[in-house]
Chains A and B, each alone.
Chain A
Amino acid sequence: MSPVLAGVLQLLALIAALALAYIPLGNHMARVYTSDKHWRVEKWIYKGIGADPDREMRWPAYLRGVLAFSLAGVLFLYLLQRLQGVLPGSLGFASIDPDQAFNTAVSFVTNTNWQSYYGEQAMGHVVQTAGLAVQNFVSAAVGMAVAVALVRGFARSRTGELGNFWADLVRGVVRVLVPIAALAAVVLVACGVIQNFSGIHQVGQFLGDPQQWNGGAVASQEAIKELGTNGGGYFNANSAHPFENPTPFSNLFEIFLILLIPFSLTRTFGLMVGSVRQGYAILGTMAAIWVGFTALMMWTEFAHHGPAPELAGASMEGKELRFGVGASSIFAVATTLTSTGAVDSFHSSYTGLGGGITMLGMMLGEIAPGGTGSGLYGMLIMAVIAVFIAGLMVGRTPEYLGKKIGTREIKFAACYILITPALVLVLTAAAMALPTPGASMTNSGAHGFSEILYAYTSASNNNGSAFAGLNADTQWFNSTLGLAMLLGRFLPMVFVLALAGSLARQQPVPASAGTLRTEKPLFAGLLVGAILIITGLTYFPALALGPLAEGLAA
């Protein structure tokens, strides 16, 4: 069997597995977010929080909950890292410096998991399991909560109420993330992912002196790292490390975990707005972009243009042999079209165009299928924009799911799509204009520019992967990337929730002959077009200076 055919079969197997999980998981999540009943363990948790899970919140209250919880997360994680040196179970690692601790705390709370540290040389058991892995769960649950709040905005009428943030947060963790992650962690251990709490110890080698090993609760963290589209590796090499991703099967399984919730949430959305076909239209849009990007990536990586891959005979630099070019390409696209940022191969050593595809995936706003929750709300914002464009064409007031998209709504949607490009382009330009940031580049020329563009794209979109040649552990990058992650996560959420509140207050508009049928393939096509055109117009000049220049020169 040729490697290309094997790659295609792996993609098809992945699609089949996701399709099998789609309806049960989508239905389950719809029940989770609409049920009136509380589990006993949840009641204990609400008691601990001191919150009434049945109290409905309007959008400002919901937002305050999100922000308060996230702020507490940043402070706690920052302190945990600053105190690491005196905590037990820290493998003898020192406390993290203030700028790096800030960057890392923000990074994990915003579901980004950008890492300017080397996992196996900086973070002990306590910070990894009780700090970083906890944010892997809760940041994903926050994203899902905000998405569900927006869906309720579409589903409800003549109320401003969007649900209860604490209930959505806790249910997401208790009923969705923990059960799936626990199951997945055991599967990963069965593949060979390590799960222990041993310290740094010596292990014999075939030749020469013994070498040092680092234990860790890796499988439990790896499972939620992929499932919650977080991406922060236990080890520096992330999912390329054999202890995080030991076999071809574990690799496909991890890709499956990355895509599982974001795709299935479209079913949840369809059920909650009362039309599963609306969910299928969103699913179709996401799937079309995802399959298209994966096909393009496989094509460019198998074609391996560029001086080094041509000389070597394949694009294998930075790729693990057990995965090969095909599976690595599938992973690279899945991780950058979601907000994951885990890597099983190093994007910096991809072909010029391959690197460009990973960047473009993030620039789309990570909506195909996107992060847990953030993918769905990002895509629904694009749907609002697409409906608006269609409305302009025919001269009717645009509506989506029975709600009018008026001035107020379109302003919120427009603000949402402007934030991330503004952050990416302004900060990249600032880094290029200043004398010192450029010193962090490993490669020169177009690829050096790409390293910086990639960093800000990844941070602002809360992805967390990198063209890792960039030495990002400097005060400039720790601070500005931290800022980009914060603003790139929470400003869009403000507009999403404001939009949700505005939609929930409206009276539904009855569908008429002139209503755009948003459950039809035609609308999915329009949506794909709107996404590609908006992203293309925004980022083309920057892409031309970096990956396109590199790729076309090859």
Chain B
Amino acid sequence: MNTSVTNTARLLGAGLRALLVLTLLTGVLYPLAVTGIAQGLFDGKANGSEVESNGEVVGSSLIGQAYNLPLKEGQETPAPDLKWFQGRPQNGLGSNSVNTQYRLILSGATNRSADNAELVQWVKDAKAAVVKDNSVPGHPVNPADVPADAVTSSGSGLDPAISPKYADLQVQRVAEKNGLPADRVRKLVDEHTEGRTLGFMGEPRVNVLELNIALKDLAAAGR
């Protein structure tokens, strides 16, 4: 046999063996060791930071959810259930795929550009809806007060948080729908507002699921 062919075959064999040995190290031992440590030390977090309400798992504190009324016949997208605090808009993935609507099984962004006409329309519609939904008698919402996170969708489509400003804006509506005093609901928002980590990392935020769980408890106690 030609020596260069033999040499090439020998070299490829070495490459393949190197890959298999390193696969054993980095693709089997390493992930198993990390999993062992993770499950031993932080099992709640390693398994998705599940949160409970009344003894039942209602999701993950890290993953946003939709708070909608059941879909009515003839509706394409369900209407928001205004009893609950609402998260960021649910536009989800772009036209390449299905709309995620906070479904965990597929994450992604709209990928619409800053000058995209469709995105401009979505922002307009979202702003109009936020103003309409949250204006209660005696407390009209000024469109200029609607924060950006209330009218834009997130990168993952699963953003668990909203800004304290957007939460405050929903207080009057939520209080009215639940028959609670607005001050009490505002206090609840304050209790669930998390500042920047160490004072400078990230942005202040309110976890919507945790806030709604607390709201549910408060409403149940109030009755």
Task: List residues of A whose CB falls within 8 A of some B CB.
Answer: 1, 3, 5-6, 9-10, 13, 45, 48-51, 64-65, 68-73, 75-76, 118, 120-121, 129-131, 133-134, 137-138, 166, 169-170, 173-174, 177-178, 181-182, 185-186, 189-198, 200, 203-208, 211-215, 217, 219-221, 223-224, 235-237, 240-243, 246-249, 251-252, 305-309, 311-324, 327, 343-346, 348-352, 355, 442-443, 445, 447, 450, 467-469, 471, 550, 553-554
Kindly list chain A residues whose C-beta atoms are within 8 Å of the C-beta of B196: 1, 6, 248
Q: Mark B92-127, 1 if CB is under 8 A from A, else 0.
A: 011111000001111111111111100110011001
Known A173-B22, A236-B106, A349-B110; contact A319-B155, beta-carbon cutoff 8 A? yes
Does B27 reach chain A (CB closer than 8 Å)? Answer: yes
30 contacts between A and B (CB under 8 A): A10-B201, A48-B18, A48-B21, A50-B17, A64-B11, A65-B11, A69-B19, A134-B22, A177-B26, A182-B34, A195-B34, A195-B46, A203-B59, A206-B67, A211-B103, A214-B104, A220-B35, A223-B34, A235-B107, A241-B107, A248-B202, A249-B201, A249-B202, A314-B148, A318-B154, A320-B156, A321-B154, A344-B155, A468-B94, A553-B115
**What is the chain A residue whose CB lies nearest that of B10?**
A50
Given A68-B11, A68-B14, A242-B62, CB of A131 within 8 Å of CB of B56: no
Per the 8 Å Cβ criterion, residues 168-223 of B in contact with A are 196-203, 205, 209, 212-213
Closest B residue to A247 by CB, please name it.
B197
Cross-chain contact of A246 among B25, B39, B62, B93 (Cβ < 8 A)? B62
The reply to whether B34 and A185 form a contact with Cβ atoms under 8 Å apart is: yes
Contact in complex: A308, B115 (CB < 8 Å)? yes
Known interface pairs A196-B39, A219-B38. Does A308 touch B197 (Cβ–Cβ under 8 Å)?
A: no
Name the distance in Å between A256's Cβ and chain B's nearest Cβ.
12
What residue of chain A has the Cβ atom nearest to residue B21's Cβ? Answer: A48
Residues from chain A with Cβ under 8 Å of B59 in the complex: 203-206, 211
A237's partner among B103, B107, B120 (CB-CB below 8 A) is B107
Closest chain B CB from A75 CB (angstroms): 8
Chain A residue with Cβ nearest B103 = A211
**Which of B60, B65, B68, B127 has the largest number of chain A CB atoms within 10 A?**
B60
With A204-B56, A220-B34 in contact, do A321 and B110 touch (Cβ < 8 Å)?
no
Q: Chain B nearest CB: distance from A416 CB in Å?
A: 24
B68 / chain A contacts, CB cutoff of 8 Å: 207-208
Q: In angstroms, how far is the closest chain A Cβ from the Cβ of B136?
A: 22
The distance from the CB of A83 to the nearest CB of chain B, in whole angstroms, is 15
New A-B pairs, 13, CB < 8 Å, besides A197-B35, A317-B112: A68-B8, A76-B23, A130-B27, A138-B22, A196-B39, A242-B158, A308-B116, A309-B114, A311-B120, A312-B148, A318-B155, A319-B154, A344-B155
Question: Which B positions have Cβ atoms within 8 angstroms of A?
Answer: 8, 11-23, 25-28, 30-31, 33-35, 37-39, 41-42, 45-50, 53, 56-60, 62-68, 70, 81, 84, 88, 93-97, 103-116, 119-120, 123-124, 127, 146-149, 151-163, 196-203, 205, 209, 212-213
Are B200 and A207 closer than 8 Å at their CB atoms? no
Do residues A178 and B30 form an inter-chain contact, with CB atoms below 8 A? yes
Which residue on chain A has the smallest CB distance to residue B213? A206
Which of A134, A174, A204, A314 gathers most chain B CB within 10 Å?
A: A134
Residues of chain B lying within 8 A (CB to CB) of residue A6: 196, 200-203
Is the pair B120, A10 in contact by a Cβ cutoff of 8 Å? no
Question: Whole-angstrom distance from the CB of A54 to the nearest CB of chain B?
Answer: 15
The residue in chain A whose Cβ has the minimal distance to the Cβ of B11 is: A68
In the bound assembly, the distance between CA atoms of A237 and B23 in angstroms comes to 26
Q: How far is the CA of A219 from the CA of B14 in the complex (A)?
A: 31
A169 to B21, CA, bound (A): 12
Query: Is A550 a contact of B114 with CB atoms below 8 Å?
Result: yes
Expressed in whole angstroms, the Cα–Cα distance for A22 and B155 within the complex equals: 32
Cβ 8 A contact of B50, one of A169, A203, A307: A203
A9-B200, A133-B27, A321-B88 known; A315 vs B19 contact (CB < 8 Å) = no
Q: Tell me the complex Cα distance, A252–B201, Å.
A: 8
CA distance A174 to B17 in the complex (A): 16
Partner of A251, one of B30, B45, B116, B202: B202
Which residues from chain A contact B62 at a C-beta distance below 8 Å?
Answer: 192, 242-243, 246
- Chain B residues whose CB sits within 8 angstroms of the CB of A72 once the complex forms: 12, 15-16, 18-19
Instruction: Note all chain A residues with C-beta closer than 8 A to B154.
Output: 240, 318-321
